[in-house]
């Protein structure tokens, strides 16, 4: 599924709960980069990066939190990129 699409995330979480009964841990590790300078980046490339890298984390975290809060436990691990430290302008 595509973590930047709410319907895909909902289906993924439902599949996990149907198979294993709950969700204990979510690892947000999906991410992309478009290796180009900011000045050369197209808006469509920017949108792809933001949708996957940020919206995907938001949607997966939100969906998992609903399940985890009901049982009052769970873990969410967010993995970032080295690009967050050095940037690319």
Residues 2-35: tens digit of each pLDDT: 999 999 999 999 999 999 999 999 999 988 888 7
Residue 15 counted as domain residue: yes
Judged against a pLDDT cut of 70, whether residue 89 lies above it is answered with no
Q: How far apart are CA 42 and CA 10, in angstroms?
A: 30
The model's confidence at residue 88, banded by pLDDT at 50, 70 and 90, is low
Dihedral pair phi/psi, residue 8, rounded to 5°: -65, -40
**77 Ramachandran zone, left/alpha/beta (phi>0; psi -120 to 50):** beta
pLDDT of residue 86: 73
Domain enclosing residue 52, as ranges: 6-86
Tokens, residue 86: 């050095």
Q: How far apart are CA 18 and CA 75, in angstroms?
A: 19
Number of domains in the chain: 1
Q: How far apart are CA 25 and CA 76, in angstroms?
A: 6
pLDDT in tens, 46-56: 999 999 999 99
State the CATH number of the domain containing residue 47: 3.40.50.720
Residue 1 counted as domain residue: no
Judged against a pLDDT cut of 90, whether residue 37 lies above it is answered with no
């Amino acid at each position: 599924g595509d973590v930047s699409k709410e319907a895909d995330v909902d289906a993924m979480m439902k599949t996990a709960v149907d198979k294993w009964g709950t969700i204990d841990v979510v690892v947000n590790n999906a991410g992309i980069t478009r290796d180009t300078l900011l000045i050369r980046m197209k808006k469509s490339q920017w949108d792809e990066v933001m949708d996957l890298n940020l919206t995907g984390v938001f949607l997966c975290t939100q969906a998992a939190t609903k399940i985890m809060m009901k049982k009052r436990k769970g873990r969410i691990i967010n993995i970032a990129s080295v690009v967050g430290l050095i940037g690319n302008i």
